[in-house]
Amino acid sequence: MKSATMRGTGLGAISYESERHAEAPECEVVRYACSLGHQSVIPFSVEAEEIPLTWMCRCGREAAAVNKVPKMAFVITADQRVLRTHWDMLLERRTIADLQELLAERLAVLRNQEEEEERLSA
Ligand SMILES: [Zn+2]
Protein backbone atom coordinates (compact mmCIF):
# COMPACT_ATOMS: atom_id res chain seq x y z
CA MET A 1 0.00 0.00 0.00
CA LYS A 2 1.23 3.46 -0.86
CA SER A 3 -0.47 5.07 2.09
CA ALA A 4 2.43 7.46 2.55
CA THR A 5 1.48 9.26 -0.66
CA MET A 6 -2.12 9.69 0.46
CA ARG A 7 -1.47 12.87 2.35
CA GLY A 8 -4.55 14.80 3.22
CA THR A 9 -4.78 17.57 0.67
CA GLY A 10 -8.50 17.74 1.25
CA LEU A 11 -9.32 17.96 -2.43
CA GLY A 12 -7.53 14.89 -3.68
CA ALA A 13 -7.14 16.53 -7.06
CA ILE A 14 -3.47 17.40 -6.79
CA SER A 15 -1.42 15.29 -9.13
CA TYR A 16 1.90 13.77 -8.19
CA GLU A 17 3.35 15.66 -11.11
CA SER A 18 2.74 19.04 -9.51
CA GLU A 19 3.82 17.72 -6.13
CA ARG A 20 7.21 16.81 -7.56
CA HIS A 21 7.73 20.32 -8.90
CA ALA A 22 6.43 21.96 -5.74
CA GLU A 23 9.95 22.22 -4.32
CA ALA A 24 10.88 25.10 -6.60
CA PRO A 25 8.89 28.02 -5.23
CA GLU A 26 6.75 29.71 -7.85
CA CYS A 27 7.51 33.33 -8.40
CA GLU A 28 5.98 36.27 -10.08
CA VAL A 29 8.41 38.34 -12.08
CA VAL A 30 7.75 42.04 -11.98
CA ARG A 31 9.47 44.49 -14.28
CA TYR A 32 10.10 48.03 -13.03
CA ALA A 33 11.14 50.99 -15.11
CA CYS A 34 12.42 54.31 -13.82
CA SER A 35 12.03 57.66 -15.55
CA LEU A 36 15.44 57.18 -17.22
CA GLY A 37 14.33 53.91 -18.75
CA HIS A 38 16.39 51.59 -16.55
CA GLN A 39 14.66 48.33 -16.04
CA SER A 40 14.81 46.15 -12.98
CA VAL A 41 13.38 42.68 -13.12
CA ILE A 42 12.55 41.45 -9.66
CA PRO A 43 11.20 38.00 -8.93
CA PHE A 44 8.79 37.79 -6.01
CA SER A 45 7.67 34.63 -4.36
CA VAL A 46 3.99 34.04 -5.00
CA GLU A 47 3.79 33.74 -1.25
CA ALA A 48 4.93 37.34 -0.86
CA GLU A 49 2.17 39.18 0.91
CA GLU A 50 2.30 42.20 -1.29
CA ILE A 51 4.24 43.02 -4.43
CA PRO A 52 5.31 46.67 -4.41
CA LEU A 53 4.14 48.80 -7.30
CA THR A 54 7.36 50.82 -7.14
CA TRP A 55 10.98 49.78 -6.74
CA MET A 56 14.16 51.68 -6.00
CA CYS A 57 16.11 51.78 -9.26
CA ARG A 58 19.89 51.34 -9.28
CA CYS A 59 20.17 55.03 -10.18
CA GLY A 60 18.28 55.97 -7.05
CA ARG A 61 15.05 56.95 -8.80
CA GLU A 62 11.75 55.39 -8.12
CA ALA A 63 10.81 52.82 -10.74
CA ALA A 64 7.22 51.91 -11.46
CA ALA A 65 6.03 48.40 -12.09
CA VAL A 66 5.55 47.90 -15.82
CA ASN A 67 4.03 44.48 -16.06
CA LYS A 68 2.40 44.26 -12.68
CA VAL A 69 -1.00 43.08 -13.71
CA PRO A 70 -3.48 41.86 -11.15
CA LYS A 71 -4.23 38.20 -11.75
CA MET A 72 -7.89 39.09 -12.11
CA ALA A 73 -7.09 41.00 -15.30
CA PHE A 74 -6.80 37.69 -17.13
CA VAL A 75 -10.37 36.79 -16.36
CA ILE A 76 -12.51 37.06 -19.46
CA THR A 77 -14.41 40.30 -19.49
CA ALA A 78 -18.13 40.54 -20.06
CA ASP A 79 -17.55 41.87 -23.57
CA GLN A 80 -15.48 38.88 -24.59
CA ARG A 81 -18.09 36.57 -23.15
CA VAL A 82 -20.66 38.08 -25.44
CA LEU A 83 -18.39 37.66 -28.43
CA ARG A 84 -17.86 33.97 -27.82
CA THR A 85 -20.76 32.07 -26.36
CA HIS A 86 -21.11 28.44 -25.38
CA TRP A 87 -23.01 28.00 -28.60
CA ASP A 88 -20.07 29.39 -30.61
CA MET A 89 -17.71 27.00 -28.86
CA LEU A 90 -20.07 24.13 -29.49
CA LEU A 91 -20.15 24.97 -33.17
CA GLU A 92 -16.37 24.89 -33.26
CA ARG A 93 -16.48 21.26 -32.26
CA ARG A 94 -19.64 20.08 -33.99
CA THR A 95 -21.46 20.78 -37.20
CA ILE A 96 -25.16 21.60 -37.34
CA ALA A 97 -25.70 18.16 -38.89
CA ASP A 98 -23.99 16.53 -35.90
CA LEU A 99 -26.14 18.55 -33.52
CA GLN A 100 -29.33 17.65 -35.37
CA GLU A 101 -28.39 13.99 -35.10
CA LEU A 102 -27.67 14.36 -31.38
CA LEU A 103 -30.95 16.19 -30.86
CA ALA A 104 -32.86 13.47 -32.69
CA GLU A 105 -31.17 10.85 -30.53
CA ARG A 106 -31.98 12.68 -27.32
CA LEU A 107 -35.59 13.25 -28.37
CA ALA A 108 -35.96 9.55 -29.17
CA VAL A 109 -34.62 8.66 -25.73
CA LEU A 110 -36.98 11.13 -24.04
CA ARG A 111 -39.97 9.87 -26.04
CA ASN A 112 -39.16 6.31 -25.07
CA GLN A 113 -38.96 7.35 -21.42
CA GLU A 114 -42.30 9.12 -21.70
CA GLU A 115 -43.92 6.10 -23.28
CA GLU A 116 -42.44 3.90 -20.61
CA GLU A 117 -43.82 6.14 -17.86
CA GLU A 118 -47.24 6.23 -19.47
CA ARG A 119 -47.25 2.47 -19.75
CA LEU A 120 -46.28 2.11 -16.08
CA SER A 121 -48.84 4.60 -14.81
CA ALA A 122 -51.67 3.23 -16.96
ZN1 LIG B 1 17.07 54.26 -13.13
Of 97, 41, 91, 48, the C-alpha closest to 66 is: 41
Neighbours of ion ligand 1 (CB under 5 A): 34, 36, 38, 57, 59, 61
Residues 9-49 have pLDDT tens digits of 555 555 555 555 555 567 788 889 999 999 998 888 877 77
Measure the CA–CA gap between 74 and 81, rounded to whole angstroms.
13
Please tell me the pTM assigned to this model.
0.37
State the distance from the centre of ligand 1 to the C-alpha of 39, rounded, in angstroms: 7
**Which residues, listed in sequence order, are joined to residue 42 by a DSSP beta bridge?**
30
Domain residues of the chain, as ranges?
A: 24-75, 76-122
Quick one: fold of 24-75? Answer: Rubrerythrin, domain 2 (2.20.28)
Measure the CA–CA gap between 24 and 22, rounded to whole angstroms.
6
**Is the CB of residue 63 less than 8 Å from the CB of residue 41?**
no
